[in-house]
A and B are shown apart, each in its own frame.
Chain A
């Protein structure tokens, strides 16, 4: 199987998952208003160990919840009204749909309705890993980005996982923090970052003059691997990492397309609507004249996420399928 992550073992000792744990450690240390609430996150340290030792280090502030996603988010909203900055860990992004109502109707409407901010951070361990199947693999950034009143973050690097989670806690609005499970252990960095791009700004992950690939989260690494492959064929691909899908940094995307004239959007979410469709809609309506070829998009297949590795690898975009789609764009 051709997977960018397994092939690219970055030097360093700090993983994406550890960066998330460290960001929570720092948020708890720096701000007495922060607490974490979720299933199995106390002494057990969470299903993925993203809160390892935090319950012991911050007694009474890292709290096990019942299996009640609706009530977990509802409690966070009440705590936010009371001036706290709760972090909710959903055990898997997929289970956040049980708390969907509280997220989109309670948290996301509170500021607009009452002028009282709702600073809650909801961590969604998202995305496919081999063998996880239909209910432990979903990418849900699109459905949350659809609702007004929510910021949706999709960090692709260890550094962003750390700095963006700290930013999420500091922001006065509900933040859906999509942390990709495939990046948890494989992605490594040497140290925690001391500075970061502002929230809402995309990053040029690789420069290139021939075409632009816009993507986010784990697909950034698949796209970079595809760009390596295309470079060996003589094509220079620019890769834009959106970092947040809402707000969506249209300016950076448009500027890149202005340089390259060609656009491929890649997302691990399902194809109907969504982030990739939104980018293409914006680029074609606001920058039609910049395009030298019809923009394309590549998403997961329009089925639930399959369990078996063979099927899963074919369901989501990979470096190989991205490279193939990019060649099509380059040929036109």
Chain B
């Protein structure tokens, strides 16, 4: 039941999906540029709340957005800037939510990675890990009741999140209902500071979904080509009606949990192992090696990405801050049920 992505064959592998590869790579550059910018704004004290980076996880994340179509559903987790951009989240949404603009989708009520547009299939995560899986199940379940088929839902979790009851309840629920769910586990070796040895005692995270009768696809999360292939296959399988699929991407978080975290607990040996490879640097090497682009093009793409992020941030920095006197302070959609609501009678 556990499937391992075949190693890309030198020569024809990248060329065979060259367009996707380069498109994904450029989104990864954009995600990295955004991460660098928000980290810098955080250090400058310009961000209210935390900043959570996806450094080292761009390859698996972007592969999700690339594999999905319009009309699909994506509930990203905290390190999915690349996947969000690939799934057409406007860059402005990211900047407005990080910088607290009332013009953003969360209207400054929620911040940083807690953003989305449910009607566009982009779900805003709550902080409780595993809780978004059942929500994606619900959307897929409702679509089936309505007779809508052919759409897929993807959501992400980390190694630590697989220890929650919510993860197990929801994965089992998806399996029982045979929903077209793809659950992507980024096994980045640490949940905040806790290593996987304190998180689970099974040999591999791939053992967990297998216990629910869910096929598992294991992939090297540092290898963009392998991630693109694996995600594309998992999404295809779900779309074809083969029920939920789990992807386990092995990689290392190349940053702290958030920008407040120096991450001095990360094992040096892991950093120097293949797991510690930077997926962007590895993809660049491959691009040069395969002559998909030259060093000058890489440089200009990088500059273009940084420029694009600078422009978006500058735009949002000119927007007004939220005004508590304009805020409705109303948690119900049904206004007449809000306590203290003035009625005409």
Contacts and interface: CB of A to CB of B under 8 A. Distances in A.
B337 interface: yes
Interface stretch (A70-78, A123-131, A155-163, A288-296): A70-78
Interface stretch (B132-140, B200-208, B315-323): B132-140
Interface size class of B (residues with CB under 8 A): 35 or more
Interface string B105-121: 11101100010111100
B99 to A, nearest CB: 17
A107 B247 CA distance: 28
A79 B119 contact: no
Nearest to A112: B331
B65 interface: no
B339 A68 contact: no
B173 A78 contact: no
A309 interface: no
Nearest to A247: B339
A71 B179 CA distance: 14
Given A116-B118, A151-B332, A81 B138 contact: yes
A73 B118 contact: no
A78 B142 contact: yes
B176 interface: yes
A68 B209 CA distance: 17
A108 interface: yes
B297 interface: no
B117 to A, nearest CB: 8
Nearest to B73: A78
Contacts, number: 145
B145 A60 contact: yes
Contacts of A235: none
Nearest to A80: B138
Contacts of A68: 169-170, 172-173
Nearest to B110: A113
A113 B141 CA distance: 23
B166 A70 contact: yes
A246 B339 contact: yes
B337 A106 contact: no
Contacts of B119: 81, 116
B135 to A, nearest CB: 4
B101 to A, nearest CB: 15
Contacts of A173: 332-334, 337
Q: Among the interface residues A71, A111, A200, which one has the most CB atoms of the partner chain B within 10 A?
A: A71
B124 A114 contact: yes
A20 B235 CA distance: 41
A200 B337 contact: yes
B146 to A, nearest CB: 7
Nearest to B138: A78
B165 interface: yes
Contact of A71 (B116, B146, B170, B337): B170
A102 B119 CA distance: 20
A124 B138 CA distance: 20
B135 A106 contact: yes
B176 A83 contact: no
A200 B341 CA distance: 11
B143 interface: yes
Given A81-B138, A83-B146, A112-B330, 6 more contacts: A70-B134, A71-B169, A74-B170, A84-B142, A105-B126, A114-B106
Interface of A: 35, 60-61, 65-66, 68-84, 86, 98, 101-102, 105-106, 108-119, 148-149, 151, 171-173, 199-200, 246-248, 250
23 contacts: A70-B134, A70-B165, A70-B170, A73-B134, A74-B131, A74-B138, A75-B135, A78-B135, A78-B136, A78-B142, A79-B138, A79-B145, A82-B142, A101-B131, A106-B126, A111-B331, A111-B332, A112-B331, A113-B109, A114-B118, A149-B331, A199-B337, A248-B339
